Each structure stands twice: as structure tokens, then as C-alpha cells.
């Protein structure tokens, strides 16, 4: 029954999930991942919608072998911290590679992936992941 309430929540976050839409403070530069009217760092109300670039550099990563219940079927998986040109850092899943292929400083690109499936409602949740930039041959 509770799953009826999931679609609106996903809807609310979907612009961030698909396109990395953020709210950037024009006063201090802080980036907020959820819609907000007041900067949580400096309390300014001068916020503008922005979109993070599709490429970022890998800072650090780890392999998750004992994930939270909702992600059990994906384990093991890789999570990492990436940094965009403007210095914004993001914790994200990393996909399409083995941990051995990852090196701090390497360039990653954003892709959309199926993240979870709610067995009861059949709702499939998509979201972003990052993967190593594919070399052109
Ligand atoms: Zn601010």
C-alpha cells in the first residue's frame, strides 16, 4: 500500500536524478541538490537553477559489498566521489567498469541507469551513474 506514495517522491527528485539539476547560491557558491529557497550555508535567497556538467574527475572510490537492503541485488558495486570543473563534489555510483580500472584523477562521464525495481508496484527507478569515459578507437 505504501508504494502508492513512491512515485511523487521520485517525481520530485527526478530532475536531479536524470540531469543533475542543482540550485546554486549566487552569494557563496554553495550547491544544493534539493529545491530550496534559502542557502543552507549563508542564508542568502539568491539561488539559481543550474545543471552540473556531464563530465567529472574521480577523487576517490570504494567497493560496497554489504549494501543497504534496497540495493542488495546490485552488490558488490562501486561508489565514488567525483569533482566537477567548478569544484562541486558529488557522491555517486560508478558503473561499467571493474574497480581495478579506476584511478583517482581519471575522467568520468554521466550515464542514466536502472537503479532499483519495486517488486510490488513494478515501479522502476532510473538515475545517474558515472563511468570511465569511453576511449574512441
Ligand atoms: Zn550561500
Query: From ligand 1's centre to the CA of 21, what distance in Å?
Result: 17
Q: Give me the DSSP letters along 71-104.
A: GGGG-SEEEEEEE-TTS-EEEEEE-SS-GGG--T
Give me the pLDDT at residue 65, please.
Answer: 87
Give me the pLDDT at residue 3, please.
Answer: 45
Give me the pLDDT at residue 39, please.
Answer: 96
For 35, residues 6+ apart whose C-beta sits below 8 A from its C-beta are: 12, 23
Residue 63 to residue 60: CA distance in whole angstroms? 11
Query: From ligand 1's centre to the CA of 130, what distance in Å?
Result: 27
Ordered by start, the domain boundaries in the chain are 2-132
Residue 132 to residue 120: CA distance in whole angstroms? 34
Residue 125 to residue 109: CA distance in whole angstroms? 20
Query: From ligand 1's centre to the CA of 62, what distance in Å?
Result: 30
CA gyration radius, the chain: 16
For 107, residues 6+ apart whose C-beta sits below 8 A from its C-beta are: 55, 56, 57, 58, 132, 133
Query: From ligand 1's centre to the CA of 116, what distance in Å?
Result: 33
pTM of the model: 0.74
Give me the pLDDT at residue 46, please.
Answer: 96
Residue 113 to residue 54: CA distance in whole angstroms? 14
Query: From ligand 1's centre to the CA of 24, what distance in Å?
Result: 8
Q: What is the pLDDT of residues 34-71, one digit of tens each?
A: 888 899 999 999 999 988 899 999 999 999 888 777 77
Which run of H or of E encompasses 16? helix 6-19
Q: Which residues of the chain have pLDDT under 50?
A: 1-5
Query: From ligand 1's centre to the CA of 10, what distance in Å?
Result: 26
Q: Could you tell me how far CA 95 lies from the centroid of its own chain? A: 12
Residue 54 to residue 65: CA distance in whole angstroms? 27
Amino acid at each position: 500500500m505504501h508504494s502508492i506514495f513512491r512515485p511523487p517522491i521520485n517525481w520530485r527528485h527526478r530532475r536531479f536524478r536524470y540531469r543533475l539539476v542543482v540550485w546554486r547560491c549566487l552569494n557563496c557558491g554553495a550547491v544544493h541538490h534539493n529545491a530550496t529557497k534559502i542557502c543552507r550555508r549563508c542564508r542568502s535567497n539568491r539561488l539559481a537553477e543550474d545543471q552540473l556538467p556531464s563530465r567529472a574527475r574521480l577523487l576517490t572510490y570504494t567497493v560496497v559489498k554489504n549494501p543497504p537492503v534496497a540495493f542488495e541485488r546490485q552488490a558488490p558495486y562501486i561508489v565514488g566521489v567525483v569533482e566537477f570543473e567548478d569544484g562541486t563534489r558529488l557522491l555517486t555510483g560508478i558503473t561499467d567498469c571493474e574497480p581495478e580500472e579506476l584511478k583517482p584523477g581519471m575522467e568520468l562521464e554521466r550515464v542514466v541507469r536502472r537503479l532499483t525495481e519495486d517488486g510490488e508496484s513494478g515501479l522502476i527507478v532510473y538515475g545517474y551513474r558515472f563511468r570511465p569515459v569511453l576511449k574512441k578507437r
